[in-house]
Amino acid sequence: MDEQPSIPSLIALADADHDAYGAWLTKDRSPDKLAERRLNQHGARRDVPLLIETPHTLAGGALLASWTRRYRRKHPETLVFMHHVGCTSESRTLDNLLFRLLSAIHDNYGFPEPIPASREARIEVLPNRLARAAALSRVVIAISSLDALQGDEADQGMYWLPKYLPANIRLIVTAAPGMSIPMWRQRDWQNEVAQLSPVAAEEAELELAAAAAVLKLL
């Protein structure tokens, strides 16, 4: 009897969605060498998490997609997790972000414990899984467009993160300027503003907005 082709898992399909979205963002776009050099510096040393503010949220996603792809190739021993908030409807929920992150850790290190079903249980086990993963290798967690995450202030404010991240964890997040993340300031984590050029889709939006403004003046 012929073997039936395996059905892709939900996590494999989600990973494919994020990879395809990242490829779309970076298509026909030259890497921002200055910004990527800054990320290389962050990835190379033990450093506190980094929040990058940019008015062009898709450009922030393009930066992280490009950089994580290159970093993964240069550092195959490192677990590199990339989550684009907004690339699918599911990606906007904290449940989905936690499920993908815990699944990446589970699959990369072969941890036997199952992924908890509830959001509260996933938040509860996250510190332990991150600590165990960081004891085995460096872990890079990149999240683009944090401000697009649905939920309450605690979700967007990243209060679901462990209070203390292991030294081997690198966390990089992009968000729109002015997004209030009190937790980020309370923990004295890094916050920088990046001057990134918009991607093609954002350039089209800007052109439409400019045209609309001109029409209003006529």
Range with top average pLDDT, 67-81, 162-176, 202-216: 67-81
Structure token digits, residue 58: 């898709």
Tell me the C-alpha distance between 36 and 39, whole Å: 5
Residue 35: what residue type? Answer: A
Give mean pLDDT, residues 124-150. Answer: 94
State the greatest distance between any 2 C-alpha atoms of the chain, in Å, as a whole number.
72
Element (H, E) at 33: helix 33-44
CA atoms within 13 A on the CB side of 160: 22
Q: Right CATH number for 10-217 from 3.40.50.300, 3.50.50.60, 3.30.70.3150, 1.10.3720.10?
A: 3.40.50.300
pLDDT at 210 over 70: no
CA of residue 38 relative to chain centroid, distance:
16
Average pLDDT, the chain: 83
Tell me the C-alpha distance between 122 and 160, whole Å: 9
Taking a C-beta distance cutoff of 8 angstroms, is the pair 94, 151 a contact? yes
Q: pTM for this structure?
A: 0.86
Tell me the C-alpha distance between 14 and 90, whole Å: 9
Taking a C-beta distance cutoff of 8 angstroms, is the pair 174, 54 a contact? yes
Quickly state the pLDDT bin for 16 (edges 50, 70, 90).
very high
Burial of 119-150, coded b for 16+ CB within 10 Å and e otherwise, reads beebbeebeebbeebbeeebbbbbbbbbbbbe
pLDDT at 19 over 90: yes
Compute the radius of gyration of the chain from its Cα atoms.
18
**Residue 208's pLDDT is what?**
41
Taking a C-beta distance cutoff of 8 angstroms, is the pair 148, 91 a contact? no
Residue ranges of E strands in 63-153: 79-84, 139-144
CA torsion sign, 128 to 132 to 138 to 143?
A: negative
Structure token digits, residue 55: 């008015």
Quickly state the pLDDT bin for 73 (edges 50, 70, 90).
very high
Taking a C-beta distance cutoff of 8 angstroms, is the pair 212, 98 a contact? no
